[in-house]
Structure 1
Amino acid sequence: MSLTEDELRTAIARELPGVRADLERLVRIPGIAFDGFDHSHVERSAEAVAELLRGCGLEVQIVRAGGGQPAVIGRKPAPPGAPTVLLYAHHDVQPAGDPSLWTSDPFEPVERDGRLYGRGAADDKAGVMAHVAALRAFGDELPVGVVLFIEGEEEYGSDSLDELVQTHKELLRSDVIVIADSGNWDIGVPALTTSLRGLVNCFVEVSTLQNAVHSGMFGGPVPDALTVLSRLISTLHDEAGEVAVDGLFGREGATVDYPEDRFRHEAGILDGVKLVGNGRLTDRIWTKPSIAVLGIDAPRTSEAPNALVPKAKAKLSVRLAPGDDAVSAYAAVRAHLEKYVPWGAHVEVTLESGGAPCMIDATGPAFDAARAAFATAWDGVAPVDMGVGGSIPFIATFQELFPQAAILVTGVEDPYAGAHGPNESLHLGEFARVCLAEALLLRNVAELER
């Protein structure tokens, strides 16, 4: 007999202080998988997660593929006749960036006004701990089998994840997959994520000269590379700010609207700055492509000589609408850049990384079980089906390898979490609801089978 709703509420309330303490211990580990950082901290983070899972009675192993970072797999077999649920999160974090932009040490968790601040406090160590909270709430009475898959390089692109999943496919096989790396619609309003955009990151480099030359002696007839690059980048959008690259897929039809005043506040847009593009905001960030310039290699202004720049390079981030394909999208972007480079300048376009978008058919018994769990945890507030403008490309891998499994994309973040930016934080009240919702979900999934 599974625990009742009241028993689970009591159990989650009992476990939350210890869960928070363990979350703070994880936040103190700067497990950054990016090149140039001390990867021994990623190892420490994996070991800490493994210890937490062993404490929940799981059989645990730390695994890796090739030169990738360590992931943690924990498993507890299902009771006879019960389903198995895979619980995903990641233990690595983004770099903290400029420490002067943080109001407190990014790797020393601090509570302010009901939020816990620290790098990874929301993305995604709270996802790890939501899984742990649900397991602790059930103790020895877990009504389903579970597989916990806690990745160690999601923020760095999940380069080794496909190989990891292929290698451990049978160990990871499950009936329901819960991916705790998204967020909720608002504080007090839960959500299921049903679509995510894909991603193509690429570099475009233009060249006009063999070397830098005097800007006075040669300026005028000679095009400098920065001007060429600027003009080329400007062709990626039309006057309204819509993406102007032929061959990229986009559509309209989002079912939820995003109030502009809320969007501007959450994005931190300066007064007077106009939004670009056409249509509903939710279409613009969920179901249409976008292109952004992430960085440019060029002389620093404080160090620039009076010379024409011979080469300039930009990194572009292209977000792909659900339904598009990363390979064809990259080909379309490359063809556009090669076509529109001005004045015969030389151009080279190279791919850094790509990831598939995804659509999830959020119908069926597992999704009903999830919606019921969310509505109970949020005191009667039904979850919103929402899209996400960001990307989790490996979801497509799970869809391909486990086509019969229901994939539930959820998470702990809210619009004010500030993931990837300075002062990342976790709303502690919402975190408590997430933990309760996951415990209720596991109970509901078990009862579906009965």
Structure 2
Amino acid sequence: MSPNPIAESVASLMPEAKRELTELVAFRSVADWEQFPKSESQAAANWVADALRAEGFEEVALLDTPDGTQSVYGCLPGPAGAPTVLLYAHYDVQPPLDEEAWLTPPFELTERDGRWYGRGAADCKGGVVMHLLALRALKANGGVPVTVKFIAEGSEEQGTGGLERYAEAHPELLRADTVVIGDSGNFRVGLPTVTSTLRGMTMVRVEVRTLAGNLHSGQFGGAAPDALAALVRVLDSLRAEDGSTAVDGLDTDAVWDGLQYGEDDFREDAKVLEGVELTGSGTVADRIWARPAVTVIGIDCPPVVGATPSVQAGARALVSLRVPPGTDAVKATELLSAHIERHTPWGARVTVEQVGQGQPFRADTTSPAYAAMARAMGVAYPGEEMQYAGQGGSIPLCNTLAALYPEAEILLIGLSEPEAQIHAPNESVSPEELERLAVAEGLFLRDYATAASA
């Protein structure tokens, strides 16, 4: 990184950034209060609010959103006439999953092999720290030249739409000229990338029932309809022979014409076992950025340990469907529900309950803000040009903001590059990426303010 005052300031702040991320990661802020105490999420929200107050933010508030979670809001006034930039991140995290698969405790930030490990280190507590670093570097070099609104969400990982509905009910709160979403990631460590598209998502809970109660498999098996077997049939129907998503009526042939993702690179990033084939057809980029993808998130059925020889009366599954830009998430939900009902065998009783939904997103990459970000990333990553990539994940707030503020420019950057292994055991963040992206964001805010006043 070439020397410049912003970069030097960020470098000097990195020890403090590590300390703060250590504190944030320690909160078990999973917005699933059947498994994790709500107090952990509340403590994380308070931490963010205190950090904003310490940086001089005004109107700092914990917003009670309709899904029962809290989002943290604050405003840092800039010079008169300066543009307004909204900085977004989320402090809620995914569950740690199999804690035994973690090499170090998931809620203790641990440095290993040049990376910092811990749940939320990249997704997206690191994003909170990234924003703070950029603002502090600007304050150390003449001040923040724009008005900054800061919003940290508390339920992004759950897809329950709390912040989206709050924003719709309070449309002036998050109004900005430009939005920087700190919840995506570079295509590779060291390759500056903005995310230009996001797949949307729908999530449904499927329950199949066939009997009034479980039956002895020796006495009744062979004629009694097994609800678990029926559910397996339904779930299998959601994929074609090659593993492609196969929801009746849903387009699965779109192509991605931007940055490509080599199969060998993808296999390494995804840690695909030797000899196991990738699923689907088309390029990897087609499959993960331009086409729908169905995933069985979980199944409720008897575990192997302690199982009895029984025909199951009922079984449940949670199914996620990611949908690309150009596909309406509401319509996709209808198609998914109809497919499940149509493919349920033996007249079994099936119910499909929607538990989450978010629309896909496509950014306008021709806007002045994108040009300013490209210049900033060129400085923060010497010798590299900013790339455009898609992301298979969903950030439902993007579409809400685009609908509320159609004139606003929305950029997506962040720390979730492939090595980060977000949503999996041993999630980590590259401190070098944290430093460089904080520099890029600081330079972007300065450049954007200058361009806006020209």
TM-score exceeds 0.5: yes
Match of 1:50 in 2: 49
The code of the aligned residue for 1:295 comes to G
- Selected match of 1:284 from 271, 284, 287: 287
Report what 2:159 is aligned to.
157
Q: Percent identity?
A: 43
CA distance in 2, matches of 1:68, 1:315: 21
- Show the 5 A alignment for 1:337-348: 337-348=340-351
Tell me if 1:85 matches 2:88.
no
Aligned to 1:100: 100
Any unmatched runs of 5+ in structure 1? Answer: none
- Deviation, 1:75, is 0.8
Task: Please tell me the residue identity of whatever aligns with 2:446.
Answer: R
CA contact (8 A) 1:109 1:118 kept: yes
| 1:437 counterpart residue number | 440
Cα deviation, 1:218-261, whole Å, max 9, x if unaligned, reads 32233322222222222212212222222223411332221111
Which of 9, 12, 30 is 1:11 aligned to? 9
Do the aligned partners of 1:178 and 1:409 also contact (CA within 8 Å) in 2? yes
Alpha carbons 1:248, 1:320 under 8 Å: kept = no
Alignment of 1:36-185 (within 5 A): 36=34, 37-59=36-58, 60-66=60-66, 68-139=68-139, 141-185=143-187
Name the aligned partner's letter for residue 191 of structure 2: V
Q: Is the 8 A contact 2:200 2:322 kept in 1?
A: yes
Q: Identify the residue that residue 447 of structure 1 maps to in structure 2.
A: 450
| CA–CA distance in structure 1, aligned partners of residues 256 and 417 of structure 2 | 23
Q: CA deviation at 1:209?
A: 2.3
Q: Equivalent residue of 1:169, what SS?
A: coil
DSSP 3-state at the match of 2:131: helix
Seen in structure 2, the aligned counterparts of structure 1 residues 378 and 328 have a Cα distance that, compared at 3 Å, is same
Distance 1:191 1:236 in 2: 33
CA contact (8 A) 2:65 2:71 kept: no
Does the alignment pair 1:411 with 2:437? no
**Counterparts of 1:214 and 1:299, CA distance in 2:** 14
Structure 1 Cα separation of the partners of residues 250 and 339 of structure 2: 11
Point out the more displaced range, 310-319 or 436-445.
310-319
CA gap 1:239/1:74 in 2 versus in 1, 3 angstroms: same
Change (3 A) 1:156 1:253: closer
For the structure 1 residues 33 and 214, does the alpha-carbon distance in structure 2 shift closer, same or farther, using more than 3 Å as the test?
Answer: closer
Separation in 2 of the partners of 1:306 and 1:158?
Answer: 38
| Equivalent residues of 1:249, 1:321 under 8 A apart | no
TM-score normalized with structure 2 length: 0.94
Letter in 2 for 1:318: L
Q: Does 1:364 align with 2:358?
A: no
1:262 corresponds to which residue? 265
Maintained 8 Å contact 1:5/1:440: no
Deviation at 1:134, TM superposition (A): 1.1
Tell me the residue number matched to 2:329.
Answer: 326
- Paired residue secondary structure (1:96): coil
Q: Tell me the amino acid that sits aligned with residue 205 of structure 1.
A: E
- Determine which of 417, 420, 424 is the counterpart of 1:421: 424
Moved more, 390-399 or 76-85: 76-85
RMSD: 1.8
Partner of 2:33: 35
Asked if 1 retains the 8 angstrom alpha-carbon contact of 2:67 and 2:160, the reply is no
The equivalent residue for 1:389 is 392
Deviation at 1:76, TM superposition (A): 1.7
**Are 1:249 and 1:323, in contact at CA under 8 Å, matched by a contact in 2?**
no
- Matched residues, number: 447
Task: Report what 1:228 is aligned to.
Answer: 230
For residues 313-337 of structure 1, the C-alpha deviation after alignment (integer angstroms, 9 at most, x for no partner) is 2221111121111221111112112
Structure 2 gaps, min length 5: none
- What residue is the counterpart of 1:317 in the other structure? 320
**C-alpha separation between the residues in 2 aligned to 1:42 and 1:208?**
39
Distance 1:73 1:46, change over 3 A: same
Q: CA contact under 8 A between 1:249 and 1:320: conserved in structure 2?
A: no
Establish whether residue 189 from structure 1 lines up as the match of residue 191 from structure 2.
yes
Which residue of the other structure, out of 273, 297, 300, is the alignment partner of 2:300? 297
* CA 1:253–1:32: 2 relative to 1, 3 Å: closer
Amino acid aligned to 2:287? R
User: Deviations for 1:1-59, whole angstroms, at most 9, x for unmatched residues?
Assistant: xxx98221222222222222222221222222212221112222122112211222211
Matched residues in 1 for 2:27 and 2:277: separation? Answer: 40
CA–CA distance in structure 1, aligned partners of residues 220 and 126 of structure 2? 58
For 2:305 and 2:56, locate their aligned partners in 1 and report how far apart those are by CA, in whole Å.
58
Q: Which amino acid aligns with 1:303?
A: G
- Counterpart amino acid of residue 23 in structure 1: L
> For residues 233 and 32 of structure 1, what CA distance do their matches in structure 2 show?
27
Q: Relative to structure 1, is the Cα distance of residues 74 and 297 closer, same or farther in structure 2, using a 3 angstrom cutoff?
A: same
2:8 and 2:31 map into 1 onto residues whose CA distance is 37
Cα 1:223–1:8 change in 2 (3 A) is same
CA contact (8 A) 1:68 1:159 kept: no
In 2, Cα distance between equivalents of 1:200 and 1:18: 39
CA distance 1:217–1:65, change in 2 (3 Å): closer
Deviation string for 1:335-369 (max 9, x for gaps)?
11222222322222222211111111211111100
CA–CA separation in structure 2 for the residues paired with 1:299 and 1:29: 32
User: Match of 2:451, as an amino acid?
Assistant: L
Letter of the aligned partner of 1:258 in structure 2? Y
SS in 2 for 1:411: coil
Q: 1:168 Cα deviation (Å)? A: 4.0
